[in-house]
Amino acid sequence: MNLARAIAIPLFPFEKYIIAHAIFCVIGFLGFLPLGALLARYTRTYTPSWFTAHWICQLALAGPTIIIGVSLGIHAVNLAESGPVNDVHKKWGITIFVLYLVQLAIGLTIHYVKPRAWASGRGRRPVQNYFHAVFGLLIIAFAMFQVRTGFRSEWPAQTGRGSVGNGANDFWYFWIIFISVLYFAGLGFLFRQFRQEREARRAAAMRDSPEMKPMSSPGGTSVPPMA
């Protein structure tokens, strides 16, 4: 269909829901989730408040936004009567949404159920912490692909209005490159993070050493160790 003609045709109700679905999902998956990842990457070595900012972005902000976006998409499919989950965009959409919920559960488990050695500062970072970070990046990468299938193939297929203009595609490329460059630049803070973790383990080991433990005098009072 000619683009000018397609624009002139008023939007059907299900098309309005598709647009709303796209807006909410883009803000949730490509806005709040990358922001939460960047806050964790850049601020965790400078302030203990990094985790508060991280979970606010990933759960308090992204959660409702993504749920609303997915719900709008399901409602649009029902209004359009376009059938079951029968194309790449719908299948990926459900998969990514489930992965996001799994990632939330993993994050909460890691935060509230810590290995004793790691919680006391004596052990190394557990494997599940690294998995949580990598898994989160994969979800964001999947979401990037998913957004592109939405405006490149799903919108034309469901509406017959033709593909979205090149502006959306250009912005998509810019945003993907921008977020990727920011995150990979933030990996430079890993050296500072690993150094802080080594220092914490060293400090915990010194606290546990016999030389640093107070000795009891015959009268029952504690005697500090010799300098």
Model confidence, pTM: 0.84
Per-residue pLDDT of the chain (227 residues; tens, 9 = 90+): 444 455 568 999 999 999 999 999 999 999 999 999 999 999 999 999 999 999 999 999 999 999 999 999 999 999 988 777 788 899 999 999 999 999 999 999 998 888 876 767 677 888 999 999 999 999 999 999 999 999 999 999 889 888 888 899 999 999 999 999 999 999 999 999 999 888 888 888 787 776 655 555 555 555 444 43
What's the confidence (pLDDT) of residue 124? 83
Domain that holds residue 139: 13-159+166-204
Q: Quick check: is 27 in a domain? A: yes
| pLDDT value, residue 223 | 47
What is the predicted pLDDT for the residue at 216? 53
In a domain, 223, yes or no: no
68 inside domain: yes
Residue partners of 197: CB distance under 8 A and separation at least 6: 124, 125
Please indicate, yes or no, if residue 224 is contained in any of the structural domains.
no
Give pLDDT, residue 14: 93
| Number of structural domains in the chain | 1
Beta bridge partners of 215: 223
Report yes or no on 59 lying in a domain: yes
Instruction: Measure the N-to-C terminal CA separation of the chain; round to a whole number of Å.
Output: 85
Q: The CATH number of the domain where 122 resides is what?
A: 1.20.120.1770
Q: Return the bridge partners of 223, or none.
A: 215
Q: Does any domain span residue 214? A: no
- Does residue 217 lie in a domain region? no
**Side chain identity at residue 28, one-letter code:** G
